[in-house]
Amino acid sequence: MKAMFVGQQVKLATHLDMIFVVTKINADHSYAIKAQSNMAAQLSYDHVVAEMLCVVDAKK
């Protein structure tokens, strides 16, 4: 599994229609992610394991 970096765009396995940004890499190698919705609300998750994330392909 390739390591992700802060600022990278990812999708969460349970919300494939949303794009999140990695905001923090935790000591246990899990990630904090955040998405901005259209209503200026923020959706964030902490301690997400890499297996739950899919890197957004920049080529698309």
**pLDDT above 70 coverage of the chain, percent:** 88
pTM score of the predicted model = 0.84
Domains of the chain, by residue range, sit at 9-55
pLDDT tens-digit map of 25-38: 999 999 999 997 67
DSSP codes, 2-34: PPP-TT-EEEETTEEEEEEEEEEE-TTS-EEEE
Pairing mode, strands 9-12 and 15-25: antiparallel
For residues 22 and 50, give the distance between their C-alpha atoms in angstroms, rounded to a whole number: 11
Strand pairing class (42-48; 31-36)? antiparallel
